[in-house]
């Protein structure tokens, strides 16, 4: 699955360079569509007109599951995002030898940040990417889900502080937002929203609102897992 769904740092760097060389520029997903009121008085989405530098093409970068799940920790991934001493987003993790590593060159988000710093014309409007967050194992590598706020988990992890974890996650989210990243829901439990019951749909949405949106602030975008289309379901 990792081979199918992930890219290496080298591959990712080549992708960024390729889209830049082909004349793409980053745009915010929120600039592409707007909500308005239809003739029937109901809200509807309309596609906006984008004004781009001459010869450029719009590109939205969307990152699934920006959560750094537990399975990733044993497979060579970044453990979490943090704010470096310079105030910029960096990744934190452990090398195979066990030593801690803070870097801006080993994770997709700080790598993009650096790429834009070096190629300012790739983001003429300040956009970076849209980060899709679930919630069932926390966000951005922080264990912010209430399932971790138990005596059992704390006994196994005596240095763990749930409130501190949530506070640090919220600070990183704000730094990302200030830096041009958009935050979106990817459902709380990575559910196929087009196949579950309305009760389960509401339960999942409520959990996302209570355990994720309380850290990210209001979000008006949901990108459905599995590419599920709920149009017919409604």
Residue 57's nearest CA partner among 109, 18, 30 is 18
Q: What is the pLDDT of residues 105-119, one digit of tens each?
A: 999 999 999 999 999
Q: How many CB atoms lie within 10 A of CB 79?
A: 17
Mark the ranges of the chain whose per-residue pLDDT is less than 70.
229-234
Q: What is the DSSP string of 92-154?
A: EEE-TTS-EEEESSSSHHHHHHHHHHH-GGG-TTS---EEEE--BTBBTTB--SGGGSSHHHH
pLDDT given for residue 96 in this prediction? 84
CA dihedral (148, 153, 155, 160) positive or negative: negative
pLDDT given for residue 234 in this prediction? 46
Q: Does residue 109 contact residue 176 with C-beta atoms inside 8 Å?
A: yes
Specify the 3-state DSSP secondary structure of 172.
helix
Whether this prediction's pTM lies above 0.85 is answered by: yes
Q: Does residue 67 contact residue 139 with C-beta atoms inside 8 Å?
A: yes
pLDDT given for residue 74 in this prediction? 79
Mean pLDDT of the chain: 92
Q: What is the pLDDT of residues 50-96, one digit of tens each?
A: 999 999 999 999 999 999 998 888 788 899 999 999 999 999 999 88
pLDDT given for residue 76 in this prediction? 81
Query: Which residues neighbour 47 within 8 Å (Cβ) at sequence distance 6 or greater?
Result: 32, 33
pLDDT given for residue 230 in this prediction? 66
pLDDT given for residue 232 in this prediction? 52
């Amino acid at each position: 699955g990792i081979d199918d769904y992930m890219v290496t740092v080298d591959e990712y760097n080549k992708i960024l360079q390729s889209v830049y060389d082909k004349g793409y520029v980053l745009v915010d997903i929120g600039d592409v569509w707007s909500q308005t009121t239809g003739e029937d008085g109901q809200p509807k989405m309309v596609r906006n007109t984008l004004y781009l530098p001459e010869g450029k093409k719009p590109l939205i970068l969307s990152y699934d599951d920006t959560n750094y799940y537990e399975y990733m920790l044993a497979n060579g991934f970044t453990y979490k995002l943090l704010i470096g001493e310079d105030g910029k987003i960096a990744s934190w993790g452990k090398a195979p030898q066990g030593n801690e590593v803070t870097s801006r060159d080993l994770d997709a988000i700080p790598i993009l940040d650096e790429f834009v710093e070096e190629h300012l014309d790739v983001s003429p409007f300040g956009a970076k990417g849209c980060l899709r967050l679930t919630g069932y194992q926390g966000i951005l590598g922080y264990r912010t889900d209430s399932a971790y706020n138990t005596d059992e988990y704390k006994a196994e992890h005596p240095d763990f502080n749930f409130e501190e974890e949530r506070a640090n996650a919220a600070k990183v989210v704000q730094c990302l937002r200030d830096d041009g990243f958009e935050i979106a829901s990817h459902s709380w439990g990575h559910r196929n929203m087009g196949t579950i019951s309305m009760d389960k749909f509401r339960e999942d949405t409520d959990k996302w609102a209570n355990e994720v949106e309380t850290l990210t602030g209001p979000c008006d975008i949901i990108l459905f897992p599995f590419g599920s289309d709920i149009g017919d379901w409604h």
